[in-house]
Structure 1
């Protein structure tokens, strides 16, 4: 399988926050944003592997700033690492107040997707070759994040998480 670059999976999704997307405070509902993020992440993962994908996990979505009614949401998604059949996707979300011409970071998260074959079974994905310094940092950290996800999901014993253990051992 030919290795792919993170830039080849890059997706930008734009949405306008309408009244039906907001809570009683006029802020974009977190669940609606997570829905949009899932779509953007799936598009990025699908671009990387050129196959159907399903969401396997969502890591710690941190909300830094609310996005208000009438603002624009820009979601940027890019594959940060490919494993055998899964891919980690990093998402950055920005709000944009068009009236005041102001852009701000709203949140970020990591999603994990699994590629499927025609029988809906996991299939191998192309390796990822990071190019920029930022892509290399995200790529290196992906193994630790993956081990943490596997431990929390009960699929790995903490003692087997060598990358995580290396952070805490002299």
Structure 2
């Protein structure tokens, strides 16, 4: 069900969580929540970019394409039988991109209570509805105050700087090297990187795509979470749940008929969390070659739950090769950065009222 808020560009989506939405432990699959978040984001951003008030000689009909997801924390698990409510709102508009913030709550219909489960920030670019691949200018957003506008501009500049820092420049050409993921010694010893590494191959079909023949970002994130979940389950051999997904850049659009090669590997363990790196490489069948390109790259964090539903210690990862040791230290740095961000954000959690 979808209803409009006071602002006609905002979106509210409600859906009852059913058994088909569950992971093997019975909770709602983290990938399902990510998919719903992206659906709310694409509706809000596309509404903004196609608002009749903006339709003039400068702006033309467009469809939004996901280019970046900021760090997404899974604050609490969601359960089957609860109602997921997502509220998406356009919070900033840059010259060629739009920021959307999505808040997710879980409603227990029997108790009449609501819990905040997720809060995510996504960035979209408007793509021409008539000319595939053409990026359009984004209509401006009227902010309620100068302070709100300045805060939005600061977030925009920060994410742009981060993309440049990792060498993306927004539009990378990333051809895949055969050894850029498989550089370990092939050991199958328990708790090693190679022991839990998992992969998935998915043919992008019509049900995965928007009306313009490109796979939705939500579908891709759901597949990524499934691969990461396999890695976590193999490593921990317990009930595992998604705790967070780091800032993620979508390097390349994935076309209908593409083969997605998804691979996940463990990179770092703290006492109670496991970091997993996921790569998505695409191969377009109708291109006449077997060249693969990197579409998405992300880091997921998982926690292990005991029989009482509380987090429990994670088996420590055994790193063996030089590459694994380097990635472990990089993962440790990301872990410390996540801890710092969570501490800074604790005072500014959005209200569910």
Q: State TM-score, norm by structure 1.
A: 0.85
Give 1 or 2 for the bigger CA radius of gyration: 2
Unmatched 5+ stretches in structure 1: 158-170
Aligned to 1:121: 310
After superposition, the CA RMSD in angstroms is: 1.9
1:3-44 deviations in whole A, cap 9, x for unaligned? 721111100011111111112332111111111111110110
The superposition leaves residues 41-67 of structure 1 with CA deviations (integer Å, 9 ceiling, x where unpaired) of 011011011111101000011111111
2:330 equivalent in structure 1: 141
Find the aligned partners of 1:132 and 1:69 in 2 and give their Cα distance.
38
Task: Pick the aligned partner of 1:48 from 235, 245, 250.
Answer: 235
**Which segment drifts farther, 121-130 or 97-106?**
97-106
- State yes or no: 1:78 paired with 2:265: yes
1:20 and 1:57, CA in 2 relative to 1: closer, same or farther beyond 3 A? Answer: same
Does 28-37 or 133-142 show the bigger shift? 133-142
How far apart, in 1, do the equivalents of 2:284 and 2:274 lie? 32
> How far 1:133 moved relative to its partner?
2.5
1:134-153: CA deviations, max 9, x gaps?
21121001111011112222
Q: Which structure: greater helix fraction?
A: 1
Q: Flag the structure with more relative contact order, 1 or 2, with Cα contacts below 8 A and sequence separation at least 6.
A: 1
In structure 2, how many angstroms separate the alpha carbons of the residues matched to 1:134 and 1:31?
Answer: 31
In the alignment, structure 2 segments of 5+ residues that lack a partner are 1-188, 347-353
Cα distance between partner residues in 2 of 1:115 and 1:153: 19
What are the residue-to-residue correspondences of 1:13-28 with 2, within 5 Å? Answer: 13-28=200-215
| Superposition TM-score, scaled by structure 2 size | 0.42
CA-to-aligned-CA distance 1:88-143 (integer Å, 9 cap, x gap): 00011101112322211111000000011112111112111212222112100111
| Total equivalences in the alignment | 156
Give SS of 1:109's match: strand
- 1:155 and 1:88, CA in 2 relative to 1: closer, same or farther beyond 3 A? farther
Q: Which residue of 2 aligns with 1:91?
A: 278
Q: Please state whether the residue corresponding to 2:340 is helix, strand or coil.
A: helix
